[in-house]
Structure formats: structure tokens, C-alpha cells
Amino acid sequence: MSDIKKVVLAYSGGLDTSVIAKWISETYQCEVVTFTADLGQGEEVEPARAKAEALGIKEIYIEDLREEFVRDFVYPMFRANTIYEGEYLLGTSIARPLIAKRLVEIANETGADAIAHGATGKGNDQVRFELGAYALKPGVKVVAPWREWDLSSRESLMEYCEEHKIPVDFSSSKKKSPYSMDANLLHISYESGILEDPWKEAEEDMWRWSVSPEAAPDEPTYVELTYEKGDIVAVNGEAMTPATVLTYLNKVGGENGIGRIDIVENRYVGMKARGCYETPGGTIMLRAHRAIESITLDREVAHLKDSLMPKYAELIYNGYWWSPERKMMQKMIDDSQEFVSGTVRLKLYKGNVIVVGRKSDESLFDEKIATMEEDAGAYDQKDAEGFIKLNALRLKIAASKGRSSL
Amino acid sequence: MSDIKKVVLAYSGGLDTSVIAKWISETYQCEVVTFTADLGQGEEVEPARAKAEALGIKEIYIEDLREEFVRDFVYPMFRANTIYEGEYLLGTSIARPLIAKRLVEIANETGADAIAHGATGKGNDQVRFELGAYALKPGVKVVAPWREWDLSSRESLMEYCEEHKIPVDFSSSKKKSPYSMDANLLHISYESGILEDPWKEAEEDMWRWSVSPEAAPDEPTYVELTYEKGDIVAVNGEAMTPATVLTYLNKVGGENGIGRIDIVENRYVGMKARGCYETPGGTIMLRAHRAIESITLDREVAHLKDSLMPKYAELIYNGYWWSPERKMMQKMIDDSQEFVSGTVRLKLYKGNVIVVGRKSDESLFDEKIATMEEDAGAYDQKDAEGFIKLNALRLKIAASKGRSSL
Amino acid sequence: MSDIKKVVLAYSGGLDTSVIAKWISETYQCEVVTFTADLGQGEEVEPARAKAEALGIKEIYIEDLREEFVRDFVYPMFRANTIYEGEYLLGTSIARPLIAKRLVEIANETGADAIAHGATGKGNDQVRFELGAYALKPGVKVVAPWREWDLSSRESLMEYCEEHKIPVDFSSSKKKSPYSMDANLLHISYESGILEDPWKEAEEDMWRWSVSPEAAPDEPTYVELTYEKGDIVAVNGEAMTPATVLTYLNKVGGENGIGRIDIVENRYVGMKARGCYETPGGTIMLRAHRAIESITLDREVAHLKDSLMPKYAELIYNGYWWSPERKMMQKMIDDSQEFVSGTVRLKLYKGNVIVVGRKSDESLFDEKIATMEEDAGAYDQKDAEGFIKLNALRLKIAASKGRSSL
Amino acid sequence: MSDIKKVVLAYSGGLDTSVIAKWISETYQCEVVTFTADLGQGEEVEPARAKAEALGIKEIYIEDLREEFVRDFVYPMFRANTIYEGEYLLGTSIARPLIAKRLVEIANETGADAIAHGATGKGNDQVRFELGAYALKPGVKVVAPWREWDLSSRESLMEYCEEHKIPVDFSSSKKKSPYSMDANLLHISYESGILEDPWKEAEEDMWRWSVSPEAAPDEPTYVELTYEKGDIVAVNGEAMTPATVLTYLNKVGGENGIGRIDIVENRYVGMKARGCYETPGGTIMLRAHRAIESITLDREVAHLKDSLMPKYAELIYNGYWWSPERKMMQKMIDDSQEFVSGTVRLKLYKGNVIVVGRKSDESLFDEKIATMEEDAGAYDQKDAEGFIKLNALRLKIAASKGRSSL
């Protein structure tokens, strides 16, 4: 066991991290600093202060990081149309690097030599927290109680609370859920419980952020998103900060039954896991971003982005936000967004995000050339013959040498 | 102008290709063989015989290629979860190589030295037809009247008909559409008309294959798809041929408002173009295929497929189906499907395709390992520490040498 | 034939481009501006002035572009360890975009509406010149006489000269070569002649810039290259400009028999072609750059660069230097070079470039960790077990489900 | 500590693995089976029998795996022109999967439940052995003494020998080397010692398989390699088995000073390490394979191979030979080799491998098209104009909309 002086703990105020706070201070005989962040999870963070104080914590950090989260993490990620394994919008993955960064910064401020978190040894989050911490503070120590202790069941945790007089409030609705959940402004996730059988349909009352498509209004909602350099800067013509944009899109998206997915994903630690996610605003953002890119981005730039996106998504999923390769890719992605400005008009209806219009001063859509009508010489159709013949040349040579293409 | 003896023409029976048939025989003073295929476009092909005969055609080929189309083209493409520019399911692109192949085969049978088509010089289809033809019959000549003649408007075409007494029936509903359309079992597409302004919403009465989500039933439809080696072999437990599967999924998809998209895409010939597509069955197939892969495919195989998919999609879009690089990629894709067998359960509702269950005898989902409950030693959480530490090592070294990750 | 007012011609002063100058002015009845650049081809450019004047040219541009060429084209390309088809260092390809840029800039200065070049219709250079010109001046017209005229043989060219009293000096050694050659500071190339049979060995007297390994000195030459952010800034401790560096390396490389290759390459226009190249300095630079990167670059950054390099090389080979996708990749490549500083020591000997040492203040090589001796806890070997076990997990699960890896 | 019944140990007969054999049997109180393979390392393997017997081993496997090694591992790898980080031919990496496979097969034959190896906890080899073992026998246990014991120095090992009366012969030349070495038919490697300082030049007497270029003959050696489907089947017209080919090429390569490299590489476990390698035959094979591909492979197939090669090399380097993703890539690579047949002529001279000719019945090199002379219409130069114009179209549109390419 490492010799540790002071630990900064990612503290939610809930049962698990309260037990962890106590367990660390006892086990390592060290000071614990708690850090609680509002990332838009939809719960008050201020109550964590009293809980931490009740645990005897002296240094308590409680912060509203919503704007930083969306501006510096969610928005950059959406510039790449990022999606993991064809389905997952990386809602949990993208929040972890910000938490890792603040843990390290607080450690530096408070003279702590370790950080701690409440993620299990089976999941991706431990990796994301720790890779971030090591990248940002190479000598840092990490305490991951779920990998260390023997409090493996809910019952043993509760016993520990009782024994150590930890005043955790077990009456909150969240705690009674049969699912393991995580939320921030980008999404809410559900795991375990009956989801551990991938053949079983998730129950309707699991979902918390969105109504079902069935329960959504019979009238569509139209929304116009204005982009500047790849980021949404206004909704329906009204300028908004990043977190305000996402909050708004979550609201209208959720009301229209948008953004639920139910998938089996491949974890970095080697296993498959079932997860259900609600990402109302993100689902709208992905579709809209592709739409604004469709008229403003060069074809080859768009295709290059598409071919690199799976790698970029994998880096974020696996916890490599704070790696040089992610930053290197980000440079390229951000550079590609120079002209991605304009407006997208969307129709939201019972789970559907339908692009119905897009316009931009930077549009590369050229009606004179694209038209099926008379184009006044904008495009010489005869050029196509040479284009095709030279593109065919290698195929013709091969065929003439007797290689069959069938 | 080439010296041509006999041409095989891709003939729809409509106005354009009827004019083309006549124009070629007059211009090149050569015989014309017509080839009309049922690819599931939803129109009778047999009437093309009388039309061709009226034009004086002696060799008339009319064929039902639906099974071959789905089995040998659509199914292989869906094994790769193929999607162009994040949205387009390649409905038109994937039909062209089959037509090119039959044109060449018929040319070989009839002793023709040229093939002809009615695609314009601005589009992708000319490229797809001609690359295919050159790859399969390297000495073939190509006649592409739209790049050659001066009949550039509808009016001049109709004048030509009158002048040459071409008995084309202009009363069919399709001909009066303000849109340029193409259809086969995989999709129907719409271009031009008001779509040439990307800010204008498509009109509801444009869509032909699906009801709008608004008009779809208030009750969901559940469907179970059974996969074998990446292909759907049964629906709701009933074995079906490939074309029957797609026909069925088009029907239930269309009834439930599924599969409409409205995009601006990048053509191979260098311009951006607006297109609207209805792909009801394909939209269901894509989602379902990803779902069955999610439990049966190895993670790295899945990621490798994802990283290559944009390239593969680009090849098909650009007309390189009959190229050695496409075949080489297909080998890899097909090989990856060895264990992609099992059943996916879907809920279709007002435009939504919702995966609600997936199961397989080949499943790699391991409940014992994935569980958040006690796992009886299936997974040792302590392994994660070493895993993270070695993955972090290069990041730590860089940070300790003073490189900032921020 | 286009209506052209004034043409800027890439003019070498040799036979072909002299004929072209005259042919254009007669054929298009327009003014011709000549542009002759010193890119390090090893021939005086100033004599081109008198030749142009003798042709009646009024506006004559003669420029020394060697520093710009190496600094803004060669150096950026070498940051990516660029190599086409595993062998070719892109010596011709990388010079064309600079010429295209100056042609366009001179067109803008002189009010010309067209550019012209002497590249044939079978090669890559026409593509490189013209793509560059169109990208930089979209309305420009292009005159490519080799694709237009009927002077297809040397004899007809010489007749044309005589007829038009073009005073070309045919006595220079270059003109009598049986090879088609091109040279600049990065390389000299040889094509055609007996090289058109890929089984025939090139004759020793073809090579002009390097001695053969057999003829090189029996004593090795050692050289030390100092890098800053990926670029060589000093040789043997002496600061040098980019063109001076390359000139020096060409000299010592050539003296030591370094940098000859003999390949069959795939042209963008669809055919295979045999080419021989001498790239003495570039061959040294590639090896040295990899060596300095080997101690300063993060592993994943290096691997990402390696995986994108073939695409980047293809872009340059195919003529897309002035494309948004090349610039986007360059951003990423340049960003990767932030810490690529230090010194590489090389031994040059009879065709061999042997890396014998590399050092850097930015080195990520950590002797404490890498040592096979006692490392005082810098690395905990036990971490490897967890690392391996989690990396193996998906393989174990698959095997335990009966999938054979054999 | 695991409960282990019987272990199969990769046994070289040297000091380390002799100590390991004893240590395992004592520590785990289990039977040890030794497995010694001739992979072409250049030392007799039969003497390992007596040494194993002296250690009390009952089940002793000694096998000549040279043909299997080259045929099933080296040859398939060279089909991809595989090279790690631009320099390393993966000589060690490619031997490990075969050893892992035999360890597992012998475990199955002898009823062993564990395998063991003598690789350290800092290197790649442990990963390669263990990933292979887990993939092939998912329930297998692994004993890796270097990660477990406290015999961390040479002295403690020798004490252990004395104490346990292990009759190891310390007088062999190999044992006195200051370098850590590994050899098989593909290469010999050197690590540690003075190599741990990347600025220090390796000493000439370190190298064992090749003479220096300086010491090589003054006369070149010519060699002709005949390929069938990507593999060498004959040398100088004489049919040979794979291992015979490689043995021969090692001989002539080594005699001509070919195949030495000195690099710093990135290990999978996260650190950089200096390594020197002699790969005489492999260096020749890489060059020759590219040469035969240059005339027989389609351009796009070649480029696709090049773009995937770094990933494939990384998989082999990192130990994933027995993974589904490597096998999937192999399918594609092998498929690409269908027409890679013909003959390459090489000149070997003082470290240089010079391609001087290549020919093939499957050649795609078309002299009629490639010629700079009159081609009798094989290629219409006018096609190039349309080819360029359509490829330029997107660049022109962007420029005309005001986007600067500079």
C-alpha cells in the first residue's frame, strides 16, 4: 500500500463515495479533499457540502463546470461527428477528462499527492480518470477503492456506513433504482439490473430524461441552429452559450422522444456490456452538424474526417483525451471547421430528428453547376468522358491481361 | 465518333431511353439491343417489350434480377454497415454494378461491341456504368448520349419523339413528377426540382414509398430478424430469400414511416447535390446488423471494420464495385461475418427503428464477466491497475519530461 | 479553342518549351509570358532570358526559388516521412505546386488569363500543374500543347523550329540523353529509353548526381544533423538555411553513392511507369528524421503519422498539394513536430545511410525505465500481468466460446 | 499463487531458463515439461535434452520448426511488406506466436495446465507469448518467473544455480556477450549494454551474422528470386523450400553486409528501447517483394495495403498474431497476392540491395501505353483534360467562393 499524504476524491455526495471518503482516510491514514462538480447531471451539488462536512472533510470543492464541459469537451468532440461503434455518443466518456483535470488541479492547489474515484475495476471510467491523472501529473498516486477493498456488495457498504456512522441519505429516488446510472449535460446512462440480459427490452420507467416517442406530442417542433466554425452559437436566432444550447436541446429533444439508444458496447477492459443512453440534445447536434458540414465542407476533407472518426472516438472512449495523439487529431479536426458556419433547420417529431433545410454564406453547394436544367456552360459534360476513361485505365489494363473482375 | 456495330442499351421503357434507342441507331447506324431489368423499382418491366418492339428493336432482354441484386450486391454491402457521408445507404450506387455486368454479358452473348445508358454527364451513374463495363470488358465502347447530343431539354426530347414517331406514353404518373427519380428494391431517390435549393423543405407529396411518421400507425410493429453469417435469412421466424426479406422490410418500414433522409451529398464528379431518399428496409437492416454484430463480433474486428467502412462506401459510391480493391475489402468483410448469426428484435414506430433485444448462440456477451454483481472470480479487478499503469506509462514519461497535456 | 489573351508559360529554355512558346503565340494569337525558375536543377537559368527574348517574349520572369522550395515544400513533406509506394521520395511531385503557384501569381501580376506547361498528356505533371492552377485561380485557362498539337515526335518538333526560326541550342549534353529527365534540389529523375523494359538494368552512365556505391570512397563520411521542430537547421554544428542543407547533403550523399532507386510506379493517370531517381540528400533526410523522431515522438503519435503517411504521399504524388485535405493533414503533421528537436549522427558509406547515434533534450527515451539492469522501482514488472490479462480478455472469451484462433 | 499441476516451459538450454525450470518445479511443486525449438537461431537444440534431463525433466520436446516458421509466419508477414516504425522487420515478434502455439499444443498433449517463459516483465515478448497462449487455450495459467521472483541480477541467478546444483555451461561465447540477444531464421537482435545510450555507436564486434559493408566483397552478387502468389519459391531458378530460401538469403545477404539496423523503438509496454538487428535475408525479401508487386499489383490494391500495413505491423509487434483482427487482415493480404508471381533480379553490394530488373507473366506494366514514343492510340492524351477538370472541380468551386488555398 502506497504511502499517501492527501487525496482528492471525486465525490458525488452519494453512498458509495461517502463510504470511500471514510475508507480512504482510515485505510491510508490521510487527509481527504472532496471535489463535487455540477456537469449538468440534474442534481443539486451544494448538498454535497454538508455531507462532506459530516464526514469530517476540511477541504471541500464544489464547482459548476457546465460551461467548461460543453465548450471545451462536448463541442470539440461533436466537430468530428464522433460516434462509438456506430451508436454511442460518448456521454460518459467525454465528462471524465474534465473531472480528471480538476482532480489534478485541486491536488496541485491543496498539496495532495493522490487522487481517488469511485469507479469499479470492471469499467472504462477508472481508465479514463487514471490515464488523465497520470498524463497531467505524472507522479500522482491513485486510490481506487473498488479495486482494493472487500466491500463488494451493497449490504457490506451499508454495514460499513452504520459502523462508521456515515450519515448517508438512502431515501433519494436515485439510490433505489435497479440500474447503475450516470448523468451529465450530454446524457444519462443506465447499466446492470435486467439490462444484463441483452435479449430483454428495457422497461419504459427506466428512462428519465425523455418521453417515449409514443408519449411525445402529435405536433412537430421546428428548431433552427446557427453554427460558427463548427459550433452552435444560436438557437432559433437567439445567441446562447454552449451549456445553454445543450440544456435547451435536451429539453426540446427529450420532450419529443429523441435520443434513446439501447446497445451492447465493447469496453476497453475487454468485455461486452449492455448500456442504455438518453442523449436528446447530442442526437440533435450530431444530425445538425453533419447537415451544416454537408454544404460547407470540401468532399475530401469530409471523407478524411469520416475515416479518422472511429479512431478519434476510440481514443475518447478508452480514456485518451489527454494524450498527444488526441490533441494532434483535434488540431486537424478544428482546422477543418473554419468554414462550417451557417444555419440548419430541423423538425423534431416523436423520436425523429429530420433535417429540412440548411444554408450558409460559406456554402459550396453551387446551384448553377448542380442543376439538372441548362447550366450555361458552368459544367462541361464532355469532361466526364476523360475522367471516366482515365479512372478506368488500370481496370481495363488488368482485364485485358486476363484478370477477371467477377 | 466511334465505329460501332451493335449496342446494348440499359432501357427503362421511358421517354429518355426510348429517344436514346432511336438516336443511337440513327447516329451510329448500328443495331440496338435493349436490356430492361426488374430490380424492384415497383414498375412492371414487361411493357418495355412492346415499346422496344415499336422502336424496331430486334433483340430485347427483360429480366427479373431482384434476387441476384439483393443476394450478391445489397447483402454483401450491408455486411460492412455501409453508409456514405454518415447518411446515405447507397441505394442507387449498389444497383449500377449489376446493370453494368448484365450489359456486358448481353454484349458478349449478342456480339455487341458497345453499351449505352441514359445517365447524364453530371452524375455518378455514368461513372458507375462505365467503370463496370470497362472492368468487365476492356475493349467495350460506351455510348452516353447525354454527353453527346444536343437534346438538352425536355422540349427538345419531345420534339425528337414526334419527329421520329416514338410512341412513348407520357401519361404515366412518374413522368409528370417534378423530381428526377430512381428506384430499386433498396430505395427510391428524388433529385432536382425544388430540391435544388437546400434550404427548402421537401414537399410531403414527393415521398412515394413511406408514409410520414405523422401518418404512421399509433401502435408499434415488432419484428424479429434472424441472421446467418451476417445476412438475414428469416423474418419473424420464417425463412425467406434475400429479395423477399427486403420486400417485406420495405413494406413494414414504409408503413411505419421509416427510412426517409434528405441530404446534400458530394458527387464523384466534383459537385454537391441535394438528394432525398426512402430506404425503409435498408434503414432497418443497418440498425439490426449493427445489433447482431454488437454481441457476436470481436471488438477489434468491429473497430477495424468501422475504420475501413468509409473507404468501402466511397468505392461503391464512386463506381468501383468491379475493382480489385473492392473485392479485396469484401474478402475481409465477409470473413468477419463468420459468427454473425443470431436474432435481433426490433420495434418499429413512427420513423423509429428501436433495437429491443439481441441473442445469439455465438454471443461473446458474457454475463458472468459483465455483471456488476459478484462474479465469482470471472474477472480480477486488480488486473485493471496494471493495465492502466502500462497504458499510462508513455503519458507519464512525457509529462515527467515537462510536456504539458493541457 | 478557348479565347485567350495572355499566357504564362513554365519555360525551361529548352527545345520543347521554346517550341511551345512559339506555338501558343501563333495558335492562340496571344501574348506569352515566360517563367523560368531555379529550383536547384543544376543548370543556369539566366540563359533562358536571351532565348525567350529571341522568341519575341516581352515579359520574362527568371527567379531563384531554391530556398522557398526547400523551406515551404520539401521540409514540410519530410516532416511526415513521406514516401510513395514504399520507395519514391516524390522529388518531382513536390516541385510542381511551387511552379503552379508562381505561374498563377505571375498571371495575376501580368493580367494573364491562362497558364501553360510542357508536360505530356500521359504523365502526372500535367495534373499537378493544373490542379494547382485551378485551386489557386479558379477561372484560369490552361494550355497544354502536348495534349493539343500534332507535333508528336522529336523530328516534327525540330522541323517546327526550323520553319519558325527558333534558335534552340541542341548541342547541350542534356538534350542528347536517351532519357527523359527532370531535376531540382531534391532529385533528378530518368524515364523512357531502355527503362521502358522493366527487366533491363539501367546503364551506369545514366546516373548524373551520384557515383555508384562501387566508385564511392573506401572511407565513410560521418555527418551530424541538428533538428528543430522536425526540420534540419544545422549540419555538423553549423547553422544552415534549408536550401544550403539540402545542397550539402546532396553533395556528401552523391559522393558516397547514396540515393539511387529504380522502380516501377503507379501514375495517377492509370498506368505503370518505370523511373530511376537519384535523391542523395533526401535519402539521408528521411533516415535521419525517423531517427530523431524515434527518441522524441510519442508512440501513438508516431503510429498515427505512419498510418496516414501513405494517404499524404498519394495526395502529393497526385497533385493535391493545394487542396484543403492536404493542408488539413499538414496541420496535424506540423503539430506533431513540436518536440522533434535534437541531433542525429550518421555514417555514410557506399550507398548506406547508417544511423549511429541520436540525442535530444526532448528525448522520451528513459534509461532508468528501459534498462535491463536494476531500475530502482521506475517500472513495476508486476503491472505487466494485469496489462496482458485485460488485453487478452476478449481473446479468452472468444476462445472459451469455442472460436478457434488457429 | 495459482495452483498448478504441470507447466510447459519454453526452454533454451541456457542459464536463465534452466534456473526457471528448477525454480518453477520448486515454487509451484509441479511437473515441468520443456520445449526447445530450432527456429534457425544458429545453435544446436539437441544439447538441450541432456541439460533438461540433468534438471530432472521427464517430458522433453525438441523440435525443428524452421519450415513451419518461415512458411506460416515469415512468408505471410512479408506478403504485406511489413515494417514496424519504418525500420524494424519484426524478427523477434514473428517467432513468438509459433512458440506460443507449440506451448499450448504440448500442454494439451501432456495434460499441462500452465505454460511458462523466460521473458522479462519489461519487454514485448511476455505479451506475445501470453496473448497467444490465452487466445489458443483460454483457461491456461501462465508462469512468468521474471515478474514473480527476486532473482533480479545475474549474480543471484548464479547463486541459485550453485545452491540447486544446476549444471549450466557458462563457458559458451553467447553467455559472455554484454548484449541481450535473440535469434531465429529471420534475424538476430541485440539490446542493453552500451546500447542503452542511444547516442553511442554500436561496436563492430557486436554484429554476428553479417560482415560490415566495409568488409564485404568488392564484387557485387546478383540473385534472381522467383515469386508465386507473393512467396519466393525459387532462387536463381532453383526451387527451394521457404526455410531454405531464407537460409540462403541470410548467407548471401550477410556476406554482402546487408540488413543491419540500429533503432530506438516503442515497446507495447510503454517505453522506448534501443535495439540493433541483423536481418540479411529479410531485408532482401522486403525490397524484392515490393519490386514484384510493383509490376503485378493494381495501384489501389497496393495503396490500400500500404495504408493498412502499419496497423498490421503493430498487431504483430504487440503480440496479436492469434487475434481475429490479424486473421481478418491476413485474408485480405493473401487475397491481394493472387497475381504476385514473377521474377526479380537483385544486385547485392556492400550493404545495398539494388533492384535491377523485374518481369512477370502477370505484369500490368503495359509498354504500349507507358511509352513516351508514339503509342498507336493506346492512350488518348485528350482524356487527361476531362480527368483533370473534374478532379479540379471541387477545388475551383471552393476558390471561386473565396476560399484561399495558400
8 Å CB contact of D269 and B390: yes
Place of cell 513468438: D96
Predicted confidence (pLDDT) at residue B174 exceeds the cutoff of 60: no
pLDDT, greater one: C116 or C378: C116
Give the CA distances from residue D253 to residues C294, D69, D226, D247, in Å, rounded to whole numbers and listed in that order: 26, 20, 17, 10
Whether C266 and chain B come into contact, CB under 8 Å, resolves to no
H/E/C letters for each residue in chain D? CCCCCEEEEECCCCHHHHHHHHHHHHHCCCEEEEEEEECCCCCCCCHHHHHHHHCCCCEEEEEECHHHHHHHHHHHHHCCCCCECCCECCCCCCCHHHHHHHHHHHHHHHCCCEEECCCCCCCCHHHHHHHHHHHHCCCCEEECHHHHCCCCCHHHHHHHHHHHCCCCCCCCHHHHCCCEEEECCCCEEEECHHHHCCCCCCCHHHCCCCCCHHHCCCCCEEEEEEEECCEEEEECCEECCHHHHHHHHHHHHHHCCCCEEEEEEECCCCCEEEEEEECHHHHHHHHHHHHHHHHHCCHHHHHHHHHHHHHHHHHHHHCCCCCHHHHHHHHHHHHHCCCCCEEEEEEEECCEEEEEEEECCCCCCCHHHHCCCCCCCCCCCCHHHHHHHHHHHHHHHHHHCCCCCC
Cβ contacts (< 8 Å) between A323 and chain C: which residues?
298, 300
Predicted confidence (pLDDT) at residue D7 exceeds the cutoff of 50: yes
Confidence at A174, pLDDT banded by 50, 70, 90:
very low
B64 noted as active-site residue: no
**Mean of pLDDT over chain D:** 95
Predicted confidence (pLDDT) at residue A92 exceeds the cutoff of 50: yes
Domain match, C56 and C159 both: yes
Q: Rounded to whole angstroms, how far apart are CA atoms B247 and B67?
A: 11
Q: How many CA atoms lie within 13 A of A346 on its CB side?
A: 30
Predicted pLDDT of residue D370: 80
pLDDT tens digits for range B366-378: 988 887 777 777 8
> Residue A13: helix, strand or coil by DSSP?
coil
Minimum-distance CB partner of B324 among D269, D298, D391? D298
Predicted confidence (pLDDT) at residue A83 exceeds the cutoff of 70: yes
Confidence at C37, pLDDT banded by 50, 70, 90:
very high
Predicted pLDDT of residue C57: 97
**Chain C interface disruption, residue of A301, A328, A329, A396, most C CBs within 10 A:** A328
Whether D309 and chain B come into contact, CB under 8 Å, resolves to no
The number of distinct structural domains making up chain C is: 3
> Residue B241: helix, strand or coil by DSSP?
coil
Predicted pLDDT of residue D168: 65
Confidence at C173, pLDDT banded by 50, 70, 90:
very low
pLDDT, greater one: D1 or C401: C401
Q: Rounded to whole angstroms, how far apart are CA atoms C27 and C22?
A: 8
**Chain A interface disruption, residue of D361, D390, D391, most A CBs within 10 A:** D390
Cβ contacts (< 8 Å) between B270 and chain D: which residues?
390-394, 397
8 Å CB contact of A387 and D382: no
B113 noted as active-site residue: no
What's the CA angle centered on C296, arms C291 and C302, to 5 degrees? 75
Whether C274 and chain D come into contact, CB under 8 Å, resolves to yes
Asked if residue A322 is part of any domain, the answer here is no
Whether A364 and chain C come into contact, CB under 8 Å, resolves to no
Domain match, D149 and D192 both: no
Confidence at C1, pLDDT banded by 50, 70, 90:
low
How far does the CA of residue A168 sit from the closest CA of chain D (Å)? Answer: 39
Whether C98 and chain D come into contact, CB under 8 Å, resolves to no
Predicted confidence (pLDDT) at residue A361 exceeds the cutoff of 70: yes
Whether A372 and chain B come into contact, CB under 8 Å, resolves to yes
Domain match, D157 and D184 both: no
Q: Is D335 annotated as a binding residue?
A: no
Predicted confidence (pLDDT) at residue D77 exceeds the cutoff of 80: yes
**A220 lies in which domain range?**
180-297+339-359
Grid coordinates representing D134 are 490465452
Domain match, B97 and B151 both: yes
Confidence at A170, pLDDT banded by 50, 70, 90:
low
Cβ contacts (< 8 Å) between B382 and chain C: which residues?
386
Chains C–D, number of C-beta pairs less than 8 Å apart: 309
**Chain D interface disruption, residue of C108, C395, C403, C406, most D CBs within 10 A:** C395
Q: Rounded to whole angstroms, how far apart are CA atoms A178 and B221?
A: 28
Asked if residue C326 is part of any domain, the answer here is no
Asked if residue C171 is part of any domain, the answer here is no
Predicted confidence (pLDDT) at residue D176 exceeds the cutoff of 70: no
8 Å CB contact of B201 and A345: yes
Predicted confidence (pLDDT) at residue B173 exceeds the cutoff of 60: no
Predicted confidence (pLDDT) at residue D15 exceeds the cutoff of 70: yes
Predicted confidence (pLDDT) at residue A268 exceeds the cutoff of 70: yes
Q: Rounded to whole angstroms, how far apart are CA atoms C261 and C88?
A: 8
Minimum-distance CB partner of C364 among B379, B380, B398? B398
Whether D335 and chain B come into contact, CB under 8 Å, resolves to yes
Predicted pLDDT of residue A169: 66
Which secondary structure element, helix H or strand E, spans residue A288, and what is its range?
helix A280-296
Q: Rounded to whole angstroms, how far apart are CA atoms A156 and C283?
A: 66
Grid coordinates representing A55 are 464526514
pLDDT tens digits for range B258-293: 999 999 999 999 999 999 999 999 999 999 999 999
**Catalytic residue IDs of C:** 16, 96, 125, 180
Catalytic residue among D16, D38, D182, D231: D16
Residues in chain A: 406
pLDDT tens digits for range B22-69: 999 999 999 999 999 999 999 999 999 999 999 999 999 999 999 999
Residues D22 and D164: beta-carbon distance below 8 Å: yes
Confidence at B166, pLDDT banded by 50, 70, 90:
confident
Domain match, A109 and A244 both: no
Q: Rounded to whole angstroms, how far apart are CA atoms A393 and B323?
A: 11
Domain match, D259 and D134 both: no
8 Å CB contact of B180 and A136: no
Predicted pLDDT of residue A198: 97
Q: Is D25 annotated as a binding residue?
A: no
Which of A138, A164, A190 is a domain's end point? Answer: A164
Asked if residue A173 is part of any domain, the answer here is no
Q: Is D210 annotated as a binding residue?
A: no
Asked if residue D390 is part of any domain, the answer here is yes
Confidence at D155, pLDDT banded by 50, 70, 90:
confident
Which secondary structure element, helix H or strand E, spans residue B181, and what is its range?
strand B180-183
Beta bridge partners of C115: C8, C142
pLDDT tens digits for range D312-358: 999 999 999 999 999 999 999 999 999 999 999 999 999 999 999 99
Domain match, A215 and A242 both: yes
Predicted confidence (pLDDT) at residue B172 exceeds the cutoff of 80: no
Q: What is the DSSP string of C113-180?
A: -EEE----TTSSHHHHHHHHHHHHSTT-EEE-HHHH-S--SHHHHHHHHHHHT----TTSHHHH-SSE
Beta bridge partners of B116: B9, B143
pLDDT, greater one: A65 or A162: A65
Q: Rounded to whole angstroms, how far apart are CA atoms C88 and C318?
A: 13
**Chain D interface disruption, residue of A394, A404, A405, most D CBs within 10 A:** A394
Domain match, A210 and A345 both: yes
Predicted pLDDT of residue A173: 41
Catalytic residue among B79, B96, B260, B287: B96
Q: Is D312 annotated as a binding residue?
A: no
Closest to A280 in 3D by CA, of A211, A382, A365, A232: A211
Predicted pLDDT of residue D174: 46
What's the mean pLDDT in A322-341? 98
Place of cell 507469448: D129
Which of D164, D189, D219 is a domain's end point? Answer: D164
Which of C164, C195, C214 is a domain's end point? Answer: C164
Predicted confidence (pLDDT) at residue A168 exceeds the cutoff of 70: no
Q: Is D18 annotated as a binding residue?
A: yes
Domain match, C132 and C36 both: yes
In angstroms, how far is the first alpha carbon of chain D from the final one?
65
Cβ contacts (< 8 Å) between D392 and chain B: which residues?
270
Domain match, D292 and D393 both: no
Beta bridge partners of C168: none
- For chain C, positions 180-239, list CB contacts with chain D under 8 A: 180, 191-192, 196-202, 213-214, 218, 220
What's the CA angle centered on D303, arms D301 and D304, to 5 degrees? 65
Domain match, B116 and B16 both: yes
What's the mean pLDDT in A266-271? 97
CATH number of the domain to which D188 belongs: 3.90.1260.10
Asked if residue B75 is part of any domain, the answer here is no
Grid coordinates representing D111 are 495434460
Asked if residue C243 is part of any domain, the answer here is yes
Percent of chain A with pLDDT over 70: 98
Confidence at A1, pLDDT banded by 50, 70, 90:
low
Q: Rounded to whole angstroms, how far apart are CA atoms D137 and D108?
A: 9
Closest to A346 in 3D by CA, of A243, A256, A262: A256
Predicted pLDDT of residue C78: 98
Predicted pLDDT of residue B93: 98
Give the CA distances from residue B135 to residues B74, B130, B140, B146, D294, in Å, rounded to whole numbers and listed in that order: 20, 8, 9, 22, 20
Whether this prediction's pTM lies above 0.90 is answered by: yes
pLDDT tens digits for range B240-264: 999 999 999 999 999 999 999 999 9
Q: Is C189 annotated as a binding residue?
A: yes
Whether D401 and chain A come into contact, CB under 8 Å, resolves to yes
Predicted pLDDT of residue B1: 62
Cβ contacts (< 8 Å) between B320 and chain D: which residues?
300
Q: For the beta carbon of residue A26, count every other beta carbon within 10 angstroms.
A: 10
How far does the CA of residue B82 sit from the closest CA of chain C (Å)? Answer: 21
pLDDT tens digits for range C55-107: 999 999 999 999 999 999 999 999 999 999 999 999 999 999 999 999 999 99
Chains A–C, number of C-beta pairs less than 8 Å apart: 70
Whether D363 and chain A come into contact, CB under 8 Å, resolves to yes
Residues B383 and C390: beta-carbon distance below 8 Å: yes
Asked if residue A288 is part of any domain, the answer here is yes
- State which residue of chain D sits closest to B333, comparing Cα positions: D328
Domain match, C148 and C185 both: no
8 Å CB contact of B331 and D329: no
Percent of chain D with pLDDT over 90: 89
How far does the CA of residue D200 sit from the closest CA of chain A (Å)? Answer: 29
Q: Rounded to whole angstroms, how far apart are CA atoms C258 and C183?
A: 16
